[in-house]
């Protein structure tokens, strides 16, 4: 739009002091004829811009006049570049940051440049699993902004991959993982972007629910996931040296009580089912004893029998415990795998 170009041209004049028609054309990716018309339009509008012919000439603001179009304070600019710096992989965001850098007053630029380089995001965790939004994030971002339906290929965690047409409504980042919130025939659903195998825009407009609010919708969807993740509870006790691993394994789903006379600590833990909780706790061996419910104890008995059938009897179990004491291989730098939520 012409208004956008005029503002960008004014910012360029303000940042550089003097520019040529060719420099404006290259910076704004327009023809030199368009750049000249825009500069003349600024003059017509009363902006103190003048041109000087000859060697070393160009267009300038009269008397070095300046217009602060941002209204940002130094701290606000720093916060913006600090947040946007790690996300500036998209061409649009890089272009926006360049324009904003030219718009801010010169004394603030070093602070903004430092903020933009202060944070680095490594998208691969210690287990070599890639995080982030995956290769189709940019396509989905554009579909959300343009209000366009998408034919989405998606690999569900518990069933065969499939395709469906969805109505993209927003993107949410939760703990480093990106999710698409979209309307479907079954209602609102979330799709983890790392599981999206394809994303093709259809050209059809999105049907947006009346009064849709992304923050409200996400809270409701997240509450459903949390409810599924905490559908079952076990009561157990553990050796004190098992608590760090339990905290890594269960996070906020672990609630500890007072230490008992024998030094063990009672705790309760939530999970999607007693079977899943039993499987998670089984890896700590005799350092954790599940007390209730009976179904969790029965599940552990079945797990123990199946492991004994594969690995042998008590002698083998004792030898493993002595060679691999708990804590030797525990480190806060390595995350313990946690049961993934079901989405979409």
End-to-end CA distance of the chain: 38
Exposed e or buried b per residue across 264-276, where buried means at least 16 C-beta atoms within 10 angstroms of its C-beta: bbbbebbbbebbb
Q: What secondary structure letter does DSSP report for 135?
A: T
Q: What secondary structure letter does DSSP report for 70?
A: S
Two tokens, residue 33: 């004829």
Two tokens, residue 165: 């047409």
Return averaged pLDDT per consecutive 10 residues of the chain, 344 residues in all.
70 80 88 89 78 78 57 66 60 70 67 69 60 80 91 83 92 85 92 92 93 91 86 93 90 88 91 91 91 93 89 57 41 35 44
Listed residue (123, 114, 122, 121) closest to 82, CA to CA: 114
Which pLDDT belongs to residue 325? 45
Specify whether the CB–CB gap between 234 and 278 falls below 8 A.
Answer: yes
Q: What predicted TM-score, i.e. pTM, was given to this entire model?
A: 0.57
Strand, coil or helix: what is 164? Answer: strand
Rounded to an integer, what distance in angstroms lies between the CA atom of residue 312 and that of residue 89?
A: 53
Strand, coil or helix: what is 172? Answer: strand
Which pLDDT belongs to residue 326? 44
Specify whether the CB–CB gap between 236 and 266 falls below 8 A.
Answer: yes
Which pLDDT belongs to residue 314? 55
Specify whether the CB–CB gap between 10 and 3 falls below 8 A.
Answer: no
Two tokens, residue 153: 């290929």
Instruction: Pick left, alpha or beta for residue 315 (phi over 0 → left; psi -120 to 50 → alpha; otherwise beta).
Output: alpha
Residue with tokens 């059809």: 204
Which pLDDT belongs to residue 95? 73
Rounded to an integer, what distance in angstroms lies between the CA atom of residue 294 and that of residue 285?
A: 18
Which pLDDT belongs to residue 281? 92
Angle formed at CA 181 by CA 177 and CA 182, multiple of 5 degrees:
145
Strand, coil or helix: what is 234? Answer: strand
Which pLDDT belongs to residue 333? 35
Specify whether the CB–CB gap between 245 and 232 falls below 8 A.
Answer: no
């Amino acid at each position: 739009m012409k208004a956008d170009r005029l503002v960008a041209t004014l910012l360029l004049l303000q940042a550089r002091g003097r520019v040529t028609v060719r420099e404006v054309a290259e910076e704004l990716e327009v023809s030199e004829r368009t750049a000249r018309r825009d500069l003349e339009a600024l003059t017509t509008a009363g902006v103190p811009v003048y041109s000087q012919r000859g060697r070393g000439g160009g267009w300038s603001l009269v008397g070095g006049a300046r217009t602060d179009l941002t209204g940002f304070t130094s701290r606000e600019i720093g916060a913006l570049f600090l947040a946007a710096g790690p996300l500036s992989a998209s061409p649009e965001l890089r272009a926006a940051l360049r324009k904003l850098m030219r718009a801010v007053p010169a004394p603030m630029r070093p602070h903004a440049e430092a903020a933009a380089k202060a944070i680095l995001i490594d998208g691969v965790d210690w287990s070599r699993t890639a995080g982030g939004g995956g290769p189709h994030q940019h396509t989905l971002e554009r579909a959300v902004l343009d209000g366009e339906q998408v034919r989405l290929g998606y690999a569900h965690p518990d069933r065969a991959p499939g395709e469906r047409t969805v109505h993209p409504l927003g993107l949410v980042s939760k703990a480093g993982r990106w999710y698409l919130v979209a309307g479907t025939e079954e209602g609102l659903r979330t799709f983890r972007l790392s599981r999206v195998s394809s994303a093709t825009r259809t050209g059809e407009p999105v049907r947006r629910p009346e009064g849709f609010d992304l923050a409200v919708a996400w809270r409701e969807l997240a509450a459903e996931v949390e409810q599924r993740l905490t559908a079952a509870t076990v009561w157990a006790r553990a050796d004190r040296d098992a608590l760090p691993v339990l905290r890594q394994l269960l996070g906020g789903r672990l609630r500890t009580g007072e230490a008992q006379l024998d030094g063990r600590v009672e705790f309760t833990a939530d999970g999607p089912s007693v079977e899943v909780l039993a499987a998670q706790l089984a890896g700590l061996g005799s350092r954790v004893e599940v007390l209730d419910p009976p179904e969790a104890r029965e599940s552990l008995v079945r797990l123990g029998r199946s492991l004994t059938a594969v690995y042998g009897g008590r002698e083998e179990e004792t030898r493993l415990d002595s060679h691999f004491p708990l804590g030797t291989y525990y480190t806060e730098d390595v995350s313990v795998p946690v049961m993934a939520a079901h989405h979409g």
